[in-house]
Structure 1
Amino acid sequence: MAFSPNYIFLLAFLTIFIGYIKTNNSTSLMSPTSACFLAALSVRRSVYNLSNVLPVGVSQASIQASVEQAVKLSPSPFNIQSARVVILWGTESDRLWDIVWGKVNAVSSFADEEARAASESKVKHFARGAGTILFFEDQADIDKISLGFPAFAPIFPTLSEQSSGILTSNIWTLLSVEGVGANLQHQSVDLIEADVLKTWDLPLSWELKAQLPFGGIAAPPSEPKKTFEGRTRYFGGEVVTESAKL
């Protein structure tokens, strides 16, 4: 019996959701909607062991549709919509990481050949997935809105960075709930931006912010060690018990 991609996705997400409920005693304080959202966040990990084979039920078209919706729905300051996204598939993604290594190799001073080879292997490792998503902010849009709101002009660069971060997180989480691995990189942005714009004939006003190589999960990531003590504080309102803290 063949199952549709939608059925497979729903089954996978229900497994994630049930697992999250079982391992988090704070979920009894939340609505099902909140718990479902946090379950999606809980599966986002930095996956470095990628393959170029996407999970069953996931296609290039479905990933592109998810990315388009994330770009559409993610907020931006003053609704300037300055985010730009490029998806590089297969050999196009390989070209990106060749550019990165070429620049890194040209400007770096390695202690010896072993160190150089280790650095090359690390950079080329990002090309093992199915593709890479590039995140940009269009400076032309930011300059335009700054002229219209001069009082806010000094903080628009910060707001732009925050908006880009929200979009990046949304796309990364969307990939994760579909079983697609990814890891966020900021590889030599200043070094490679000009080459990236030229190679893919992109507008000069686009500023490169990050790269997200993605693909099938060749090996599961290790569980991150995180501490939450002291990271949240409460003033006023109801008394918050330890069990309610995430």
Structure 2
Amino acid sequence: MSTTTNATSAEQFLTAVRHRRSIYGISKEKVIPNSRVKQIVEEAVKHSPSAFNSQSARVLVLFDQHSDKLWQLTTEILRAKTGGGDSFQATEDRMKSFSAGYGTVLFFEDQTVVEELKSKFPSYAAAFEPYSYQSSGMLQYIVWTALEQEGLGASLQHYQPLIDETVQKEFNIPATWKLLAQMPFGKQAAQPNEKQFQPLDERVKVFE
């Protein structure tokens, strides 16, 4: 492959990286069919890197009423946890913004796989949980960026461990699947705020 082709391919990838943003204004209008979202998630799960090729990632994709149900249950859990009241309105509005989309991707790591690695490679045992989180983070980023490229808006949320048990029961999820993140998505209905950047010379060091 030529240097020019490599540069072009890298720039296309970096363009996708630049466009990925947290989008909180989303709607239920379908931008792409559910089958395409499923295909994106499956490709991401298949090709995301994992420590020792452990392939510990697990994903639940909820569409339409199932996604709505997730955020309804999350609202109820948070209301019970905080006691509700007038101060709860902001939280409830936030939950409604997530259910305003038409789907949610939930990311898990299978702890059975992680524990097997600890047993098989005891000298690395303390590292396998961080490795697992790193692997999931890469998967989340791939899915997020790919959805953005398809014209969808998405954001990454973290309501675990408060909702773990409810998610397991409602969607028949194995107890060994550890929930790490939730990604509501839908048609982009609002523009993100301008992103601010810290000076790169304070964040990157190069020796050559």
Instruction: Report the TM-score, using the length of structure 2 for normalisation.
Output: 0.94
- Once the two structures are TM-superposed, the CA of residue 117 in structure 1 deviates from its matched residue by 1.7
2:161 aligns with one of 190, 201, 205: 190
Alignment of 1:220-235 (within 5 A): 220-229=191-200, 230-235=202-207
- Once the two structures are TM-superposed, the CA of residue 99 in structure 1 deviates from its matched residue by 1.4
2:24 aligns with one of 14, 34, 48: 48
Q: Aligned pair in 2 of structure 1 residues 32, 234: CA closer, same or farther (>3 Å)? A: same
- Once the two structures are TM-superposed, the CA of residue 125 in structure 1 deviates from its matched residue by 1.5
Counterpart AA for 2:135? S
Give distance in 1, aligned partners of 2:141 and 2:27.
21
SS of the residue 2:162 aligns to: helix
Q: Residue 70 of structure 1 aligns with which residue?
A: 44
Q: Runs of 5+ in structure 1 lacking a partner?
A: 1-27, 238-246
2:67 aligns with one of 93, 101, 112: 93
Give distance in 2, aligned partners of 1:220 and 1:178.
16
Give distance in 1, aligned partners of 2:88 and 2:183.
23
Alignment of 1:114 onto 2:90: no
- Once the two structures are TM-superposed, the CA of residue 160 in structure 1 deviates from its matched residue by 0.4
SS of the residue 1:94 aligns to: helix
Give distance in 1, aligned partners of 2:7 and 2:197.
25
2:55 aligns with one of 81, 90, 112: 81
SS of the residue 2:205 aligns to: coil
Alignment of 1:3-42 (within 5 A): 31-42=7-18
1:199 aligns with one of 150, 155, 170: 170
Give distance in 2, aligned partners of 1:31 and 1:116.
50
When Rg is computed on C-alpha atoms for both structures, the one with the higher figure is 1
SS of the residue 1:85 aligns to: strand
Q: Runs of 5+ in structure 2 lacking a partner?
A: none
Give distance in 1, aligned partners of 2:75 and 2:82.
10
- Once the two structures are TM-superposed, the CA of residue 124 in structure 1 deviates from its matched residue by 2.1
Per-residue Cα deviation, 1:159-181 (whole angstroms, up to 9, x for no partner): 00000000000000000111110
Give distance in 2, aligned partners of 1:184 and 1:153.
28
Alignment of 1:162 onto 2:134: yes
Per-residue Cα deviation, 1:51-99 (whole angstroms, up to 9, x for no partner): 01122xx211111101100000000001110000010001100111111
1:210 aligns with one of 170, 174, 181: 181
- Once the two structures are TM-superposed, the CA of residue 109 in structure 1 deviates from its matched residue by 4.8
Q: Number of paired residues?
A: 203
- Once the two structures are TM-superposed, the CA of residue 216 in structure 1 deviates from its matched residue by 0.2
Q: Residue 4 of structure 1 aligns with which residue?
A: none
The structure, 1 or 2, with the larger RCO (C-alpha pairs under 8 Å, 6+ apart) is 2
Instruction: Report the TM-score, using the length of structure 1 for normalisation.
Output: 0.80
Give distance in 2, aligned partners of 1:135 and 1:36.
26
Give distance in 1, aligned partners of 2:199 and 2:139.
24
- Once the two structures are TM-superposed, the CA of residue 49 in structure 1 deviates from its matched residue by 0.3
- Once the two structures are TM-superposed, the CA of residue 185 in structure 1 deviates from its matched residue by 0.3
2:106 aligns with one of 134, 137, 142: 134
- Once the two structures are TM-superposed, the CA of residue 217 in structure 1 deviates from its matched residue by 0.7
Q: Residue 13 of structure 1 aligns with which residue?
A: none
Quote the RMSD (CA, aligned, Å). Answer: 1.4
